[in-house]
Amino acid sequence: MELSSIANLQCDIFINALSACASSSCIQQIGNLINSRLITNEFIFSSLAMLSNPTIDIINSIATFIDNIPFNGFLAISSLVQSYCITHSNCQMELSVQRIIHSISSKLPSNCYVGQEFDEIKVRIFQILLSVIDDRYLSMIIISI
């Protein structure tokens, strides 16, 4: 049975559950929904950023719909890629990682500086994301205390 035939796409919990399941099949379904413009909830991207150990299959799935992700989803997707790259030192060699970074870089405003080399881009993205991630984990620690 098609997931989209039984899914309530207006239900945020369903959409967030798709991203939280953290399988490439769920991410592919999210991609199908994004590509067909059936997802309007921007929080889906934040949910994707919370995946703790993304696999190359998840990165490959994201790469198939990266061109349809709105500007405000870039930080979350960058965070997801950064999580992958932390555990895969040669991530810059992965075609899907390159595609995602190229797609995001090509959509940045013209007054935004982007380095020409992958390492420059990766370092800058990591700097930005680490500050965001540090804030997120700090607030999680404070909440748990």
CB 62 within 8 A of CB 77: yes
d(CA 16, CA 43): 8
Q: 22's torsion region: left (phi>0), alpha (psi -120 to 50) or beta?
A: left
Please give the pLDDT value at position 1. 43
Rounded CA gap, 97 and 100, in Å?
Answer: 5
User: What pLDDT tens digit does each residue of the chain (145 aa) get?
Assistant: 455 544 555 556 676 677 677 777 888 888 888 887 777 667 777 778 878 888 999 999 999 989 988 888 888 898 889 889 988 988 889 999 999 999 988 887 777 665 555 566 666 666 666 666 555 555 555 555 4
Q: pTM of this prediction?
A: 0.66
Structural domains of the chain, count:
1
End-to-end alpha carbon distance in the chain: 44
Q: Domain residues for 52?
A: 3-144
Say if residues 30 and 9 touch (Cβ distance below 8 Å).
no
Say which amino acid occupies 117: E
Q: What is the pLDDT of residue 95?
A: 94
